[in-house]
């Protein structure tokens, strides 16, 4: 039992520890692809520390919600990430929340952040919140459809069971799974505000979404939010990893060696996915805001298609 708790604890720490690194990796790769030297890999950690040490500037008419939001956002995102098996399945708290809950937790974070964007009462905050929520109205159902596909496929909404099933003999190449994967990737891009949906690096007023929402934040608050964003990216990647590339993940209560192996494999996966992500980002251009709904709509349609195919094709578990 205790080992299960240990892995869970380790996981909680690991996600938090690796998240900025992942961000750093993507930035670095991207810079290299653009023939820039780019910032060092550990720059994100430095940024976070720097921001934490700075004083916070809060607009006069900001309410308690504005100051509470970063903590809530960070906490929910972190918890959600901690519930996704990274290097080991069968987490102690895994039974507390299935995939749907994880999606919903991210929803809570987004909800609070959007409110915070409206709190100060600036036009940019409004733009950010409104657009972020509009994207979410398509991304969230798309994500859920992908979840449906997976859980119908595996006969469970528990991530551990799903990944166990994926390792098992029943899993094979299945068109629904492919559709779900594509949908999931699109959603990941959208939700994390990557190109082509949004550009995390820009502050051009009219193109930014996520950045506009957190425009008024500074200091430790900003640090928390940035950390949350990094964790979120990590979450999505490790979700994809745990479902579609479950190999090498340590099973519940495995020995320390297995866990170490798991960590290594996991880090490798992150590296690969991060690389692919940056490759993709450099390959295409950001699209107009009102093209995004179509982009995400595609994800929704794919997810729905996958689910329906599964509904009509498979006998239930």
**Contacts (CB under 8 A) with another protein, residues 209-228:** 215-216, 218-220, 223-224
Segment 280 to 309, residues that bind another protein, using CB under 8 A: 289-290, 293, 300, 303-304, 307-308
Segment 164 to 203, residues that bind another protein, using CB under 8 A: 203
Size of the site for another protein (CB under 8 A): 90
Q: Which two tokens stand for residue 13?
A: 């720490």
Residue 62, exposed/middle/buried by CB under 10 A (0-12, 13-18, 19+)? middle
Q: Reduce the DSSP state of residue 92 to 3 states and report it.
A: coil
**Does 54 interact with another protein (rule: CB under 8 A)?**
yes
CA distances from 68 to 104, 109, 217 (A): 19, 12, 12
Q: Which two tokens stand for residue 126?
A: 């409004």
Q: Reduce the DSSP state of residue 248 to 3 states and report it.
A: coil
Q: Which two tokens stand for residue 190?
A: 């959208």
The minimum distance between CB 150 and another protein, in angstroms, equals 11
**Does 247 interact with another protein (rule: CB under 8 A)?**
no
Cα gap 129→21, rounded to integer Å = 27
Q: Judge whether 72 and 98 are in contact, CB under 8 Å.
A: no
Q: Which of 15, 18, 79, 179 binds another protein (CB under 8 A)?
A: 79
Q: Judge whether 243 and 159 are in contact, CB under 8 Å.
A: yes
Binding region for another protein (CB under 8 A) out of 22-30, 36-44, 139-147, 248-256: 139-147
The minimum distance between CB 193 and another protein, in angstroms, equals 16
Cα gap 81→193, rounded to integer Å = 17
The minimum distance between CB 262 and another protein, in angstroms, equals 21
Q: Which of 15, 22, 72, 263 binds another protein (CB under 8 A)?
A: 72
**Does 110 interact with another protein (rule: CB under 8 A)?**
yes
The minimum distance between CB 264 and another protein, in angstroms, equals 26
Nearer to another protein by Cβ, of 110 and 269: the residue is 110
The H or E element containing residue 263 is helix 256-283
Nearer to another protein by Cβ, of 174 and 218: the residue is 218
Nearer to another protein by Cβ, of 98 and 281: the residue is 98
Q: Which of 134, 251, 252, 287 binds another protein (CB under 8 A)?
A: 134
**Does 18 interact with another protein (rule: CB under 8 A)?**
no
Q: How many angstroms from the chain centroid is the CA of residue 91?
A: 19
């Amino acid at each position: 039992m205790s080992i299960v708790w240990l892995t869970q604890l380790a996981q909680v720490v690991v996600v938090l520890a690796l998240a900025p690194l992942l961000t750093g990796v993507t930035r670095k790769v991207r810079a290299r692809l653009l023939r820039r030297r780019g910032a060092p890999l550990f720059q994100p950690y430095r940024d976070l520390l720097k921001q934490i040490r700075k004083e916070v500037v809060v607009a006069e008419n900001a309410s308690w919600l504005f100051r509470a939001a970063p903590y809530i956002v960070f906490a929910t995102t972190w918890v959600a990430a901690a519930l996704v098996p990274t290097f080991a399945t069968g987490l102690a708290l895994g039974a507390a929340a299935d995939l749907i809950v994880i999606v919903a937790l991210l929803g809570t974070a987004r909800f609070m952040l959007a409110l915070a964007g409206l709190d100060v009462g600036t036009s940019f905050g409004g733009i950010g919140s409104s657009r972020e929520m509009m994207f979410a109205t398509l991304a969230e159902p798309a994500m859920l459809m992908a979840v449906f596909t997976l859980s119908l496929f595996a006969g469970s909404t528990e991530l551990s069971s799903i990944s166990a099933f994926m390792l098992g003999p029943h899993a094979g190449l299945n068109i629904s799974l492919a559709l779900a994967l594509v949908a999931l990737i699109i959603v990941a891009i959208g939700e994390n505000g990557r190109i082509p949906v949004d550009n995390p690096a820009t502050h051009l007023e009219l193109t930014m979404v996520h950045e506009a929402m957190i425009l008024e934040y500074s200091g430790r608050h900003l640090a928390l939010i940035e950390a949350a964003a990094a964790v979120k990216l990590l979450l999505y990647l490790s979700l994809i990893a745990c479902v579609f590339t479950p190999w090498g993940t340590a099973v519940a209560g495995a020995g320390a060696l297995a866990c170490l192996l798991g960590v290594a494999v996991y880090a490798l996966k992150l590296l690969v996915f991060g690389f692919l992500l940056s490759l993709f980002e450099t390959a295409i251009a950001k699209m107009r805001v009102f093209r995004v709904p179509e982009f995400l709509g595609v994800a929704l349609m794919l997810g729905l298609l996958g689910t329906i195919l599964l509904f009509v094709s498979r006998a239930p578990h």
